Amino acid sequence: MDLTLAAIFGGLLLLGALECRQAVIAALTLAVFEGAIRKWVFPEYHQWVYFAKDFLLLGAYLGFFGPRLVRKKRLFDQHPANLLLVLFCIMAAVQLANPALPNLWVGLLGIKAYLLYVPLMYMVPAVFQDTLRLRRLAVGLPLMSLIPLVLGPIQFVAPANSWLNRYAWAEEIAPGVAVFGSDAQVRITSTFSYISGYTTFLTVVLLAGLALAVFERRSWVRWALYGILGLALSNLLMTGSRGPFLIFAVAMPALLGLVIWSRVPGRPRVALTVCVILGLIWFLVGKAFPEAGTAFFERVRENDDVAERLVGIFREPVWALGEAGLMGYGIGTTHQAAAWLIPGGISNTSPPGAEGEWERIILEVGPFGFVLVLLARVFITSSLWTAFWRSKGTSRQPFTAAALLFSLACLPGNLIFNHTASIFYWFLAGFALMPGCSKEVRQAMLPRLAACRVDERELPKRIGYSPSGHLRSSCQ
């Protein structure tokens, strides 16, 4: 069986190297359906299925960066976070010699959690070179989300001991499945291994769907997106998670404010329409799934600790600073899978228990590593902010808006220890490296498109970029 697994992972590496652009899309798709494969298709190999997308991406990195290295071309585009990421890579390598690290495998697991998906940011401009590929993403993401969104309500009405409600690591069907208080109704996971992965995906769908709905010009597409948003909100109620609702409640006015401040013609009216439609969607969700609403709000009343958790985001890292020292306990030591790699399990030298991401980073890599990670996230958010303004009036604007909002949510969020959040975060961060369509670019393109009789208002649809970032025009 070891040889079979080696052949499978070797094949994934080869496929990723040969078709690196398609491998990125395939890895994102696997991130959505990986849990379903682990739970229902190959439950006995669930630990190995977890690494399938990682080997696919490693092959994609070889196929993408290898030729650049051979031709002595620049490997990475310029980005404000580049220096911080290089410094963290060096520090992560030094962490492998940390005397508090239980063994090398735990350290490699930690490096994988922190850094494996970072190269996605530099590959996105090549994957989506032109407007056509962006349109395919705009269509593909909602269509792909329909499967988990439809499956979620089916899980909610199924009993807790149903095979639909098992977890990826369960030895038998549904032992200890999370439910709403004393009710028998489960907190759904859909096609994901656990609730946290699904709530992360729902957050991405809600932010991307809202951004696309605000900027979309075709009315039928907007109404389809409203339907997706309604399903996503329904599923979010059924997960019982409160954090994504807070994120969405802050993101909605923030996005509408960006639309108004960007002074895009006609967008304030669309923004007002979206507000009214979202209110109607929320009303209809409550009518269509009353049990989900009742279970969710009962859980909120029983666990009224939101304020304490918000304060803990800033209080717990101070506690962790006193525990970690300069080097921390070693990269990967607080990872949820580290216990499987330590002979005898958790020992007295293991780090103290921690829940929030900031304190876990401090416990693993110390204060210096924490500063590098936090500053890198701030710089990524800053670059997405700049990209949003540069993409004004182009097909990239809704994507940069969604990426900006998600990056803001991930500043204190669980990103390193949630592989679903990590892969989507670094993928969306890549939209900051896609060239925008500035006023100067528009003026330069008008003479080229005059022979095509293209109206200036259609210019953003006719502009594309080569992998190297050079402007090209199309009359098709």
- Residue range 392-447, pLDDT digits in tens: 777 788 889 889 999 998 988 889 999 999 999 999 999 999 875 444 344 444 45
| Range with the poorest average pLDDT among 169-183, 258-272, 277-291, 409-423 | 169-183
pLDDT at 265: 61
pLDDT at 291: 87
pLDDT band at 323 (very low <50, low <70, confident <90, very high): confident
Taking residues 445-466, report their average pLDDT: 47
pLDDT at 119: 95
pLDDT at 177: 80
Structure token pair of residue 329: 């306990």
| Of residues 392 and 475, more confidently modeled | 392
pLDDT at 460: 46
Amino acid code (one letter) for 467: P
Structure token pair of residue 68: 């650049």
User: What angle (nearest 5°) sits at the alpha carbon of residue 146, between those of residues 144 and 151?
Assistant: 120
Residue 176 phi/psi, 5-degree rounding, is: 65, 35
**What are the domain boundaries of the chain?**
1-75, 80-116+325-436, 124-304, 439-473
Taking residues 266-279, report their average pLDDT: 76
pLDDT at 32: 94
- pLDDT above 90 coverage of the chain, percent: 38
88, containing H or E segment: helix 82-95
pLDDT at 347: 57
Could you give the CA distance from residue 134 to residue 149 in angstroms, rounded to a whole number? 22
Contact status, residue 462 vs residue 454, Cβ threshold 8 Å: yes
- pLDDT above 70 coverage of the chain, percent: 84
| Mean model confidence pLDDT for the chain | 82
| Of residues 61 and 414, more confidently modeled | 61
pLDDT band at 472 (very low <50, low <70, confident <90, very high): very low
Q: Is the four-CA dihedral 441, 443, 449, 453 of positive or negative sign?
A: positive
Q: Is the pLDDT of residue 96 over 90?
A: yes
Q: 142: which residues sit within 8 A by CB, 6+ positions away?
A: 205, 209, 224, 225, 228
Q: Is the pLDDT of residue 93 over 90?
A: yes
Contact status, residue 356 vs residue 312, Cβ threshold 8 Å: yes
**Assign residue 373 a region: left if phi > 0, alpha if psi is -120 to 50, beta otherwise?**
alpha
pLDDT at 307: 64
| Range with the poorest average pLDDT among 77-86, 257-266, 320-329 | 257-266
pLDDT at 465: 35
Identify which of 336, 425, 430 has the alpha carbon closest to the alpha carbon of residue 133: 430
pLDDT band at 73 (very low <50, low <70, confident <90, very high): confident
Q: Is the pLDDT of residue 356 over 90?
A: no
pLDDT at 379: 96
Contact status, residue 195 vs residue 187, Cβ threshold 8 Å: yes
DSSP, res 44: G
Contact status, residue 111 vs residue 445, Cβ threshold 8 Å: no
374-390 pLDDT per residue, tens: 999 999 999 999 998 88
99-154 pLDDT per residue, tens: 989 889 999 999 999 999 999 999 998 888 777 777 777 778 888 899 999 999 99
326-337 pLDDT per residue, tens: 889 999 999 888
184-219 pLDDT per residue, tens: 788 999 999 889 899 999 999 988 888 888 877 777
Residue 2 phi/psi, 5-degree rounding, is: -60, -40
463, containing H or E segment: strand 463-465
| Range with the poorest average pLDDT among 115-119, 136-140, 281-285, 456-460 | 456-460
